[in-house]
Copies of this chain bind each other. A is one copy, B any other.
Amino acid sequence: MITLSPPQKLIKLKFIKVKSQAGTHSPSIETIKTLIPEIDIKIDACFLSNPFATDLVLKHFKKDFIDESRLREVLEYYPSQNEIIAQHISKAINIRPDSIFVGNGAVEIIQAVIHNFVKGKLVIILPTFSSYYEFVKEDLEVAYYTLDKQKDFALDLKDFSDFIIKEQTDSVVIINPNNPDGNYIKQGDLTSFIETHRNLKNIIIDESFIHFAIEDELMELKSVTSLVEQFENLIVIKSMSKDFGIAGIRSGFGAMHPSRVKSLLRSGYLWNSNGLSEWFFSVYSDKTFRDEYELIRKRYIHGTLEFLNSLKTIPNIKVYPSMANFALIELIDGTTAEDFVFKLLIEHGIYTRLGNDKKGLSGQFVRIASRTNEHNKEIVKAIRKIFQEASL
């Protein structure tokens, strides 16, 4: 069982204070660096993104902005409005541009959808990404459907359908793969679910982690985005932060019926994209870039699968099945998640995500992101080491 030394406990308390002042969610690396200089973060395994994709985007950034007047334009001028940027995205994902709402990150789209379209009752699956319930205002009722840890947090669509019908809900959210457990619903099964529930007001599918999910060795990209042209109640939300490793740019989009896009743009979202996000989407619209990215996506998935398998060989933890770019682990030797996370952070500079503030996660849970192969190896080594030292 891992425990903290008294000085480590003090650093932990300082961290908890910083976290409480940094808003919700984990404080940024920058914030931690400034406020807790005792902690030297070497690996950010809290952060769910493909680092190889960041390399790729950075390569394009340097190429495109070696021309300084272009850089100036991106910073100085108003970016284009939604309609224009949607045309770039349309080229990449092959749906009509007027079905695309461009967002300042996926989280703005979650906010827009919940505040503008979801009325009456919303079914949220637990555990989940907390904004789905945090953004709910008083006039909306929420019913929670809790995934069973005994069933490895797998979503049983038949049972879930029964729950929806019983609850007489208007709307439902599914994150696929789910955050924070990584469970994945196959595209075919999800399509059947959408067909069955065409009477719901809103089916919100969050595909922010879909680029990491595979159904076979071909590792093809899966998505239900194209179904928005067929099902008016379907809204697909897509972050670009994770798969492209660009959370700081704030890029995301929602695919939805054109009438919904119009309705959002009628009373807001005038210049909600920034110049760099517009630039990124123009890069994304280029087939050559997407081909480069495709190789990098597959390379990262290979590394992630290897990482998950290595974690599974550590006896003191249970690794839940994941098709996302992270592992949800449970500590099964009596170690608390806090002691585990701060031991890794303070002694090894590895920053992981505590699961104890996640609704629907009961137990000692930690979420660990997959990083580069080298970093993944260091993470596994460090975890082994802290358990070995604890058993001495």
Which residues of A does B touch, CB under 8 Å? 21-25, 27-31, 44, 47, 49, 51, 54, 57-58, 61, 68, 71-84, 104-105, 107-108, 111, 115, 131, 134-137, 241, 245-250, 265-277
User: 13 more A-B contacts (CB under 8 A) besides A73-B248, A74-B248, A76-B245?
Assistant: A22-B80, A23-B265, A30-B77, A51-B76, A54-B72, A61-B71, A75-B246, A76-B246, A111-B270, A115-B267, A136-B267, A249-B275, A250-B275
Cross-chain contact A135 with B268 (CB below 8 angstroms): yes
A82, closest chain B residue (CB): B23
A247, closest chain B residue (CB): B78
Partner of A274, one of B51, B104, B134: B104
Residues in chain B near residue A78, CB distance under 8 A: 25, 28, 47, 241, 247-248
Cross-chain contact A61 with B75 (CB below 8 angstroms): yes
Complex Cα distance, B267 from A136, in Å, reads 6
Complex Cα distance, B210 from A392, in Å, reads 67
Residues in chain B near residue A136, CB distance under 8 A: 267
Given A30-B80, A75-B54, A83-B21, A250 and B270 contact (CB-CB distance below 8 Å): no
Cross-chain contact A24 with B73 (CB below 8 angstroms): no
Residues in chain B near residue A82, CB distance under 8 A: 23
Cross-chain contact A29 with B77 (CB below 8 angstroms): yes
Cross-chain contact B23 with A104 (CB below 8 angstroms): no
Partner of A107, one of B58, B111, B247, B270: B270
